[in-house]
Amino acid sequence: MTKINKEEIVQSVPQKGFFGQPKGLFTSFFTEFWERFSYYGMRAILLFYMYEEIVNGGLGMDDGIAKSIMAVYGSLVYMSGIIGGWIADRLLGTQRTVFYGGILIMLGHIALALPFGITALFVSMFLIIIGTGLLKPNVSNIVGDMYSAKDIRRDSGFSIFYMGINMGALIAPFIVGTLGQKYNYHLGFGIAAVGMFLGLIVFVATRKKYLGLAGTYVPNPLEDGEKKKVFTRFGIGGILVIIIAAIGIKTGILTINRFTYLVSFLAIIIPTIYFIVMYRSKKITKDERSRLLAYIPLFIAAMAFWAIQEQGSIVLADYANKRTELSFLGLDIQSSWFQSLDPLFIILLAPVFAAMWMKLGIRQPSTTRKFSFGLIFGGLSFVVMVIPALLHSGTDTLASPLWLLLSFFIVVLGELCLSPVGLSATTKLAPAAFSAQTMSLWFLSNASAQGINAQIVKLFKPETEVAYFGIIGGIVMVLGVILFLISPRIQRFMKGVN
Ligand code: GLU
Ligand code: ASP
């Protein structure tokens, strides 16, 4: 494939037509809107589907295992972004990778829509893990491709895109959740598949006209000789993994529980290797090496934050389902609807935060300080969940839905301090030679968080509730305070990035 230069790409995208942004943003926005609709819609009912009794249409799994699977699944979904980044970079280019990703995701939801029980669950998970790895980091990268380096609309373009993500996540629980819980889980999963189908239609119908050359080129294509070597290695590797897994399952050595340990291990080891490889690379400068050191505490902070935020669809979802009054002001509510609270507050508060940072101008807190606020709010969102059990002296009564509302509100205060800032900090702190992988690096913080969650979430039970929220929330708050105190030192390592 011929090399195309950056300017040529930018010029090929109609530069106006979507809220004053390049027209291609429409394509990325709606593709990602529908993809997130399908993902968060599915996740809003998946835990319940797994542990619900078989007679009620569920799979009748053990509670703890079901929670662990939710975390392992989330972890692998973000880990596979590494594969998606590599395929786009070296084989297919971003646009084609997104397309194939969308197809796999849709097939994954279709698998769950069919009444094939646990087999369908694992097939679906496999397809959605690979599919999301192909789609998510790349659809975000296309956004970056549409702006010239100096374009001041870039950040607001990403904010609009971020709204798209959260709008998809906001409406999904009401549609997929309601149909899934009130009528039939498979119907819910079917609607998630329809969502991804609509996303694919938008993508295919508008990409030629709106995206121009963005994402059509392969930045660092494999040479013909290399191709053969790589394919043989992947082929043999893939077959070996399948054989080992098959033997493991047959002999009973590879249990779900052991698999969760494997994922937790990978979740720690992969970012560690990433950092070591980058740190030792000859392609990075002295300043970049210093910035990389500064990025390590931020990465750990992001991990701690996502560990709490991602438990919204596991532990807090469970709390909504079993420990919360499901009526409010005379209105019946579904437990899946609580999953809309995070994206709802994001949409309501993101403009407030943007205005606040603008107003503060150069007096706004540094990136590291913002991260520390993220942790403090994240931890606090768990600590407040200690109160209902203490108020009612026990966990056998139902708590008011307002507690979850409060918890999600507080976690979003943290999310807005950390999530948008984190992605931009990653792009600024990652060494130039590794810039193509920055999106995967950022998503790895979430993958690692959920890999650790796989071990933690199974400990949540009515008997442990107070200690669970108190200890985890408390630890994360303490981490936040430490980060706040050492932030000036970390900032010094950033060499001019603030
Ligand atoms: N919840 C956001 C999304 O689904 C952010 C995930 C992350 O950055 O780790 O896009
Ligand atoms: N706020 C999350 C993200 O930005 C969405 C969610 O948790 O529902 O997409």
Joined tokens for residue 171: 């409406």
169 Cβ closer than 6 Å to some ligand 2 atom: yes
Output the ligand 1 site: residues, CB below 6 A.
Answer: 36, 165, 306, 419, 443, 446
Q: 245-285, pLDDT tens digit by residue?
A: 999 999 999 999 999 999 999 999 999 999 999 999 999 99
Distance 285 CA to ligand 1 centre (A): 30
The per-residue pLDDT for 8 is 86
Q: What are the structural domains, with CATH classification, of the chain?
A: 18-220+252-493 (1.20.1250.20)
Q: Ligand 2: which atom is nearest the Cα of residue 36?
A: 9
User: Residue holding tokens 């750990």?
Assistant: 300
Give the integer Cα–Cα distance in Å for 390 and 406: 16
- For residue 423, which atom of ligand 1 is closest to its CA? 8
Distance CA 25, CA 263 (A): 35
Task: Give the nearest ligand 1 atom to 309 CA.
Answer: 1
Q: What would the pLDDT profile of 411-457 be if each residue is shown by its tens digit?
A: 999 999 999 889 888 888 888 888 778 888 899 999 999 999 999 99
Mean pLDDT of the chain: 93
Rounded distance, CA 41 to CA 177, Å? 6
C-alpha 86/C-alpha 274 separation (Å) is: 14
The pLDDT of residue 153 is 86
Least distant ligand from the CA of 350: 2
pLDDT digits over 193-233, tens only? 999 999 999 999 999 999 988 888 888 888 888 888 988 99
pLDDT band, very low/low/confident/very high, at 10 (cuts 50, 70, 90): confident
Assess whether the C-beta atom of 324 lies below 6 angstroms from ligand 2.
no
Tell me how far the alpha carbon of residue 460 lies from the centroid of ligand 1, in angstroms. 24
Cβ of 343 less than 6 Å from ligand 2: yes
Please name the residue whose Cα sits nearest to atom 3 of ligand 2: 166
Cα of 169 to ligand 2 centre, how many Å? 6
* Cβ(412) – ligand 2 distance below 6 Å: no
How confident is the model at residue 3, as a pLDDT?
57
pLDDT tens digits, residue range 306-341? 999 999 999 999 999 999 999 988 899 999 999 999
pLDDT of residue 1: 43
DSSP notation for 249-302: HHHT-S-HHHHHHHHHHHHHHHHHHHHHHHHH-TTS-HHHHHHHHHHHHHHHHH
Query: In this predicted structure, what is the pLDDT of residue 296?
Result: 94
User: Averaged over 293-302, what is the pLDDT?
Assistant: 95
Confidence (pTM): 0.94
165 lines ligand 2 (CB under 6 A): yes
What the block records as the tokens of 1 is: 């494939």
Taking residues 477-497, report their average pLDDT. Answer: 92
Tell me the ligand closest to 447's alpha carbon. Answer: 1
Q: Which ligand is nearest to the CA of 303?
A: 1
**For range 46-74, the mean pLDDT:** 97
Distance 306 CA to ligand 2 centre (A): 10
Q: What is the pLDDT of residue 191?
A: 98
Q: Is the pLDDT of residue 406 over 90?
A: yes
- Per-residue confidence at 172, pLDDT binned at 50, 70, 90? very high
Q: Whose CA is nearest to atom 3 of ligand 1?
A: 165
Angstrom distance (rounded) from CA 498 to CA 363: 12
pLDDT at residue number 269: 96
- Tell me which range, 131-145, 288-302, 304-318, is most confidently predicted by mean pLDDT: 304-318
DSSP string, 428-468: HHS-GGGGGGHHHHHHHHHHHHHHHHHHHGGG--GGGHHHH
**143 contacts 159 by C-beta, under 8 angstroms:** no
Ligand 2 atom with minimal separation from the 339 CA = 8
DSSP single-letter state for residue 59: -
Write down the pLDDT at residue 356.
92
Identify the weakest region by mean pLDDT among 9-13, 23-27, 43-47, 306-310.
9-13
Which of ligand 2's atoms lies nearest the C-alpha of 340? 8
